[in-house]
Amino acid sequence: MADTLGFLASPPSNHTATAWAWRRLGALVAPAGLVLNGRHLWDPQLHSASAAWRILLGGTLGAGEAYVDGDWDCAALDVLTARLLAAEADRPLAWRASAIAQALAARVVNGQTKRRARRAITSHYDLDDALYEAMLGPTMAYSCGYWRAATTLDEAQRAKWALVCRKLALTPGQRLLDVGCGWGGFAEYAARHHDVKIVGITVSPSQAAAARARCAGLPIDIVECDYRDVRGRFDRIVSIGMFEHVGPRNYRAYFDTMRRLLTEDGLMLLHTIGGLVSRRTTDAWIDRHVFPGSVLPSAAQIARALEGRFVIEDWHNFGADYDRTLMAWHARFEVAWPALAHRYPERFRRLWRYYLLTCAGTFRARRNQLWQLVLSPHGVAGGHRRLA
């Protein structure tokens, strides 16, 4: 850790560059009701002379890396993030060198080609399954739960699966394509409860192996392949938490592929995180340390990509439920850490905590959304009835 200052709520000497950085950062976070080294749980505690400079110069990337390095702490990262975003106090730090370089690269490079997509997915999803088993629980569902009538994480995840099945109006014997099937939880649920035949695809070797073991003995075929390589025709298509990895350059091609795979009277359900503004990139820290190449689509980007391809039968937003889901994941992760500590360094614990809690704050501030869209090729006669 850089040299410790030992101050509490006061900045260092007014005659130093560090003092200027302290005052500048303090002024930026003040509209969010935050005080540097203040007394509230959500106040950031700066431990090193470099912390303020790293945040000011590096923006969200600098803030995240400084936290992981131990240059600052916060007992309630989720609250801090929600307050910053609700007050739009993050805006002055948005366009730093890393974010500018990232945006420029996105204009000339397709960050989600088949090769890059496989490398990016395996870098995150092929971590030791013990981590995900501890954090996600028996459902192994790594996407937003549906908390309308649920009281536990497992109930919320199964309620989400039941909701998806109702919206797709599954009937016995139908062929269903699960795009980005993860560890096979939804596929298993749909096969057991609705007697459908399923093809699940993933580019993660680890997930594919786990999904095959989970779904053994059921009419489920788990295939390790990119969505662009799927062949065949399906009565139903579901994509849960995968579209965030498709990338804006590929949205139209993605829906062209889904349209080719879906029968003329079929239905598709798209479950995705969404952003309020159309972008080509994601947060710089998330891109570098958690989900390389991921991009949150806006409503406008999705709608433009769907033009001439699908009828939007329903668009359901339950983004506030992701806050609760992420907080539940974080609670399980912290409880499990003593059993995981021998597998990962303390820096990983700080990185994972920062990831889960700051993401929870983005949903609490309603900066990010969770959308489920029901799509049909030509429109359902009489309209599609939402069964939420």
- Cite the active site residues: 359
| Angstrom distance (rounded) from CA 208 to CA 223 | 7
Exposed (0-12), middle (13-18) or buried (19+): which is 342, by Cβ within 10 Å?
Answer: exposed
Eight-state DSSP code of residue 225:
-
Distance of CA 98 to CAs 89, 205, 278, 306, 338, Å?
Answer: 19, 31, 19, 32, 35
Cα angle value 54/349/331 (rounded, 5°) = 115
Question: How many residues in the chain?
Answer: 388
Q: Are 119 and 126 in contact (CB under 8 A)?
A: no
Ramachandran category for residue 115: left, alpha or beta (phi over 0 → left; psi -120 to 50 → alpha): alpha
Residue among 111, 7, 12, 17 at smallest CA distance from 57? 17
Q: Distance (Å, rounded) from C-alpha 123 to C-alpha 101?
A: 22
Q: 279 pairs with which residues across the strands?
A: none
H-type alpha helices, the chain: 17-29, 51-68, 77-86, 97-108, 114-125, 129-136, 153-168, 185-194, 205-214, 251-261, 284-289, 299-306, 320-340, 346-364
Q: Identify the three-state secondary structure at position 105.
A: helix
